[in-house]
Structure 1
Amino acid sequence: MQKIPHVLDVRGLSLEAGRTGIRILRNISFDVRPGEIVGIVGESGSGKSMAARAVMGLNPPEIRQTAGAINFEGRDVGILAKRDLRALRGARIGMVFQEPMTSLNPSMTIGQQLEEGLRLHVKTTRQDRQDRILQILDQIGLTDPKAALAAMPHHFSGGMRQRIMLASVMLLKPALLIADEPTTALDAVIQRDVLELMVSLTRESNTAVLMISHDLAMVASYSDRVVVMAQGEVVEQGATSQLLAAPRHPYTQKLLSALPRRAAARVIPAASVPRVEVRGLVVDYPGRGGLLRRGAPKRALNGIDLSVQPGEILAVVGGSGSGKTTLGRTIAGLIAPTAGEIRFNGAPVGTARTSDRAYRLNCQMVFQDPYSSLDPRMTIGALVAEALRHTPGLSAQARHARVGEALDEVGLSADFAPRYPHQLSGGQRQRVAIARAIAARPQFVIADEPVSALDVTVRAQVLHLFADLQRRHGFSCLFISHDLAVVEQIADRVVVMAQGRVIEQGSRDAIFDTPREGYTRDLLRAIPTLFPTEQGGVRPGWRLASGA
């Protein structure tokens, strides 16, 4: 049997930070063959992205290669001249980044950006370039490819921008596609659509794929082989199904043990008066337009009815644009409703314009990205203390003690109080955000995608912490997420939203096991799932695969 040559062969690669001498990658080796999908998994800081960027020569100048070789199609990338590297990038090695809005030029039309790569790397006529662009835009599912040529990136949703980014890379039919966290910010249905499209386009061109992700379930479902990295080293690699079914290295076992799993259902008694109740909530956003003419308003929420019981965690799920975040922000008083009513402990509360002090003190919010929601100029102690400014009956000494207590409760000591947000990891920053939310002992917490930016092990720690605090303090929670695996672990009840409406709601087990609506079933079918094996590992699969 003839051995298939490697498209990419990384052997004994080591990288160091020039001034400090810190070892970033230590003697890592892996390879990728034509038409093969190889996944690289590991926690944040494991070196996944650094290894991928080294393949394209995109690491910062202060990062230097101290050992090993990166052979691409038989050439050592590490010794290539800059001119030769530029010829490889795009033409032979393509890269899809995590956030397409930062990798697509906001000042250029889609047509100009797609044509740029062809013009630089392929000798052909303008008409031929246009024909190839229209063909691939049709392949990725754009309803009007010709109109898309003149559109700007901000005219498209996140999922469609990622499709366009994928199209721009695959136009040149590269030998290797590097996908660095390509679907992290996308909801389940769009994530599966984008990944299926990527597989289809790469199979058609026999393109090798190097997929970097902290999402084990996604990598398990789409990769042929997997490489596990920890602290700059490759700790284990092999065929995906075999490695995950019977992991040998303790670090791999640790990653698998951190995957979200359904906890036993809790019985939350229905109170005569819900903690929070929403009746007929409507939110309209003003239409776009010029100085004298404005378009019709866009209805983001259309008659929402729901209630949250005392001590209950109610999860809100749905695709991008379903209205989840708008609902959370409106209930928090950050957006003024167009119509409808919000009631807290049976009493109506004010809007964003006429705030209700008691409700504001008892309603706290945990945002998706703690780095942007924590003031970088304030210390951790000051950030947590800020939440206590209006708490009645607290002296300065009691406030200081409460700050230390809140930090202790989230697993951070009082030693963190004088630090600043940039001195903490992502998981630690999210713990600070949770400490700030619970410091005033609120009765109601809104958590908007609180763990979507965290890797698998840190996410598990934060979820466990959040659930423990909720049981300890008994606050009600509106938990907003597009990650249904996380929702399955933490929620008591689930509300499913689509196009600004509630289309289904019920207990967690009822929604996940016997969904009534087709949209809910589509959401569940889009989730790659890892089922436990007898050897202590997992096997990849899909929910409702039998068509339930």
Structure 2
Amino acid sequence: MSPTAPLLEVRDLTLAIRATDRTVVAGVGFAVSPGEIVGIVGESGSGKTLAARAVMGFVPPAVERLAGSILFDGEEITTMAPKRLRAVRGARVGMVFQEPMTSLNPSMTIGRQLEEGLALHRGLDAAGRRGLILEMLRRVGLADPVGALDAFPHQFSGGMRQRIMLASVMLLRPALLLADEPTTALDAVVQRDVMELMVDLIKENGTAVLLISHDLGMVARYCGRIVVMCRGEVVEQGRSDEILARPQHPYTRKLLAAMPLRGPVRAFAEGSTPIVAVRDLVVDYPGRQRFFARSEPKRALHGISLDVKAGEVVAVVGGSGSGKTTLGQAIAGLVEPGGGEILFEGKPIARRESGYRAYRLNCQMVFQDPYSSLDPRMTIGQLVGEPLRLVKDLDAAARRERVAEVLAEVGLTDGFAERYPHELSGGQRQRVAIARAVVRRPSFVIADEPVSALDVTVRAQVLALFLELQKKHGFSCLFISHDLGVVEQIADRVVVMNEGRIVEQGPRDVIFDAPRHAYTRKLLSAVPGLESTRDGGVRLFWRLAQATSP
């Protein structure tokens, strides 16, 4: 291969489902040069993951290739013998998957899993393999590499598992790395750390990267070129800065328009009684029982105090493990506090107090994963109507009417009431979860990462729906999220948490434009700010790029 030739070249790739002959990838073509980072972006179902997996010959058995060529380093992948293809996988082409917990073997130690590829492709002895593994684990930031060798995947956080997955791939120094949504489930700081680590490793080895993502901001930051896919086709490709600033295709403009932008400022009366107030809230999780002893309890919340005014959206942000979800669950009554108090409309509430029932009926929760929070045996109509069973002044006909009304509000008409959760898309299931929360017309809603699992356009639709319902019904909201772009669009005030403590809180614009605490600056430095351009695109700018860790 000549120095100027692409390392990977995909030409007119067409894939279809065997049983139905439905084309899922149609005439896709792109190239990746040595040392280049190219991003493929698009919504769920656009075919970007299938196109990338075809490079490694990982297309599912139900999918067949109808046409096209995949050249890697001058060799044709589509006609490569199985033995040669196995030699190329891992050693020459590596892949980092979206969810490391499902791609790491839960029954094998980290050491054994990292050793497999070296034993298969490098031919080193045990001592040589151990030395390379320990060096790579230190390189990816594990504090105790020796201890990690005998640990299992479930003993690490999501960010650490992704680092381990990256280490297992980069140990073999591949010429091409396929990264499929490598940071989707991670918070902003961990996402940046993993991406910066990946960039450092590929620069050291001269590795080319094909990065698959629906996060245009992240792709624009790290990729020199972008390939935009829609319904199995490439609709636009070119330099990242040009596509973001001057998108040519309507679908690209649609993606960029769906990226969160700062919403208008709303004013709230000073000194009014908060709808919900938390004072010095403490939550302790008991230690684990091990043989005849129990480990020390872990304090998840250290004296949290905050107010939520009537009609206000207060966002709680912070990294994974900061206590955001525990705070929401404690306020909702799903976790028993170890100290402090919760006040509803100025009155203390507790499980044994007379006002607790009224508070719980007025406090509803939207969970992060609607699929696991919706009973698969119940229809959508039954699920949305379930909270109305405790409303005494509604008869059966009135309940059915209320259910139909709220399903129409969230855009689920035309027979959706008779469907089951598995028949709905992720965005539709999230609409059902929101409908369940608002069907009782509560005064307070807790939304725990309600859009974290959705792609960019569906996320924009759900956020617009949420804001419309909040404006229409006037409920207050505690909005828990690690997506600072979403928070900037939806929040009136922001509460920043770290290690179970509030480190800073205030009006949204003050927090985003003039953060005081070092941890807040660290969070904001990890995500881009966005501004619309006259050509229908966006301009990315980086806040507090020189922020340091606290």
TM over 0.5: yes
Shift of 1:345: 1.2
- Counting aligned pairs with the same residue, the percent is 65
Is the CA contact (8 Å cut-off) linking 2:525 and 2:546 kept in structure 1?
Answer: no
Task: Provide, for residues 406-428 of structure 1, a one-character-per-residue CA deviation record: whole Å limited to 9, x for no partner.
Answer: 10001111520001111111111
Is the CA contact (8 Å cut-off) linking 1:371 and 1:429 kept in structure 2?
Answer: yes
Task: Provide, for residues 232-267 of structure 1, a one-character-per-residue CA deviation record: whole Å limited to 9, x for no partner.
Answer: 000000111122121111110111111101111000
Shift of 1:535: 3.0
Is the CA contact (8 Å cut-off) linking 2:285 and 2:299 kept in structure 1?
Answer: yes
Q: CA RMSD in A?
A: 1.6
Range that drifts further, 373-382 or 484-493: 373-382
Range that drifts further, 286-295 or 205-214: 286-295
What corresponds to 2:470 in structure 1? 470
Equivalences for residues 175-254 of structure 1 within 5 A = 175-254=175-254
Distance 1:353 1:433, change over 3 A: farther
Q: Supply the distance in 2 between the matched residues of 1:529 and 1:265 (Cα, whole angstroms).
A: 17
Q: Does residue 1:519 correspond to 2:519, yes or no?
A: yes
What corresponds to 1:396 in structure 2? 396
- State TM-score, norm by structure 2: 0.97
AA in 2 matched with 1:246? R
Q: Supply the distance in 1 between the matched residues of 2:510 and 2:56 (Cα, whole angstroms).
A: 48
Q: Supply the distance in 2 between the matched residues of 1:60 and 1:397 (Cα, whole angstroms).
A: 48
What corresponds to 1:411 in structure 2? 411
Distance 1:53 1:532, change over 3 A: same
Matched residue SS, 1:392: coil
Range that drifts further, 192-201 or 103-112: 103-112
Q: Supply the distance in 2 between the matched residues of 1:94 and 1:352 (Cα, whole angstroms).
A: 57
Equivalences for residues 8-407 of structure 1 within 5 A = 8-270=8-270, 272-351=272-351, 356-407=356-407
Q: Supply the distance in 2 between the matched residues of 1:5 and 1:374 (Cα, whole angstroms).
A: 52
AA in 2 matched with 1:204? E
Q: Supply the distance in 1 between the matched residues of 2:464 and 2:309 (Cα, whole angstroms).
A: 21
Matched residue SS, 2:451: coil
Q: Supply the distance in 2 between the matched residues of 1:124 and 1:97 (Cα, whole angstroms).
A: 26
Range that drifts further, 291-300 or 481-490: 291-300
Q: Supply the distance in 2 between the matched residues of 1:540 and 1:205 (Cα, whole angstroms).
A: 29
Matched residue SS, 1:504: strand
Q: Supply the distance in 1 between the matched residues of 2:418 and 2:274 (Cα, whole angstroms).
A: 39
Q: Supply the distance in 1 between the matched residues of 2:508 and 2:496 (Cα, whole angstroms).
A: 11
Q: Supply the distance in 2 between the matched residues of 1:347 and 1:200 (Cα, whole angstroms).
A: 54
Task: Provide, for residues 428-456 of structure 1, a one-character-per-residue CA deviation record: whole Å limited to 9, x for no partner.
Answer: 11111101110010110000000011111
Is the CA contact (8 Å cut-off) linking 2:261 and 2:531 kept in structure 1?
Answer: no
AA in 2 matched with 1:340? G
Matched residue SS, 2:422: helix
Shift of 1:286: 1.0
Q: Supply the distance in 1 between the matched residues of 2:269 and 2:178 (Cα, whole angstroms).
A: 50
Q: Supply the distance in 2 between the matched residues of 1:328 and 1:32 (Cα, whole angstroms).
A: 45
AA in 1 matched with 2:43? E
Matched residue SS, 2:191: helix
Is the CA contact (8 Å cut-off) linking 2:518 and 2:547 kept in structure 1?
Answer: no
- State TM-score, norm by structure 1: 0.97
Shift of 1:458: 0.7
Q: Supply the distance in 1 between the matched residues of 2:541 and 2:49 (Cα, whole angstroms).
A: 26
Shift of 1:268: 1.7
Is the CA contact (8 Å cut-off) linking 1:387 and 1:440 kept in structure 2?
Answer: yes
Q: Supply the distance in 2 between the matched residues of 1:68 and 1:355 (Cα, whole angstroms).
A: 67
Matched residue SS, 1:497: strand
AA in 1 matched with 2:196? E
Q: Supply the distance in 2 between the matched residues of 1:445 and 1:269 (Cα, whole angstroms).
A: 20
Is the CA contact (8 Å cut-off) linking 1:317 and 1:494 kept in structure 2?
Answer: yes
Is the CA contact (8 Å cut-off) linking 1:246 and 1:535 kept in structure 2?
Answer: yes
Is the CA contact (8 Å cut-off) linking 1:314 and 1:478 kept in structure 2?
Answer: yes
Task: Provide, for residues 454-480 of structure 1, a one-character-per-residue CA deviation record: whole Å limited to 9, x for no partner.
Answer: 111111111011001001000000000
Distance 1:48 1:351, change over 3 A: farther
Equivalences for residues 439-478 of structure 1 within 5 A = 439-478=439-478
Q: Supply the distance in 1 between the matched residues of 2:527 and 2:251 (Cα, whole angstroms).
A: 24
Structure 2, gaps ≥5 residues long: none
Range that drifts further, 136-145 or 83-92: 83-92
Shift of 1:50: 1.0
Matched residue SS, 1:115: helix
Is the CA contact (8 Å cut-off) linking 2:261 and 2:530 kept in structure 1?
Answer: no
Matched residue SS, 1:172: coil
Q: Supply the distance in 2 between the matched residues of 1:158 and 1:265 (Cα, whole angstroms).
A: 35
Task: Provide, for residues 41-67 of structure 1, a one-character-per-residue CA deviation record: whole Å limited to 9, x for no partner.
Answer: 011111111111111111210100001
Shift of 1:155: 1.6
Distance 1:142 1:493, change over 3 A: same
Shift of 1:547: 5.9
Q: Supply the distance in 1 between the matched residues of 2:386 and 2:394 (Cα, whole angstroms).
A: 13
Q: Supply the distance in 1 between the matched residues of 2:352 and 2:430 (Cα, whole angstroms).
A: 26
Is the CA contact (8 Å cut-off) linking 1:313 and 1:493 kept in structure 2?
Answer: yes
Q: Supply the distance in 2 between the matched residues of 1:83 and 1:368 (Cα, whole angstroms).
A: 43
Shift of 1:271: 5.4
Q: Supply the distance in 2 between the matched residues of 1:418 and 1:106 (Cα, whole angstroms).
A: 38
What corresponds to 1:421 in structure 2? 421
Q: Supply the distance in 2 between the matched residues of 1:309 and 1:199 (Cα, whole angstroms).
A: 44
Shift of 1:541: 3.0
Q: Supply the distance in 1 between the matched residues of 2:206 and 2:541 (Cα, whole angstroms).
A: 24
Distance 1:194 1:262, change over 3 A: same
Range that drifts further, 466-475 or 348-357: 348-357
Distance 1:83 1:377, change over 3 A: farther
Count of residue pairs brought into register by the alignment? 547
Range that drifts further, 151-160 or 321-330: 151-160
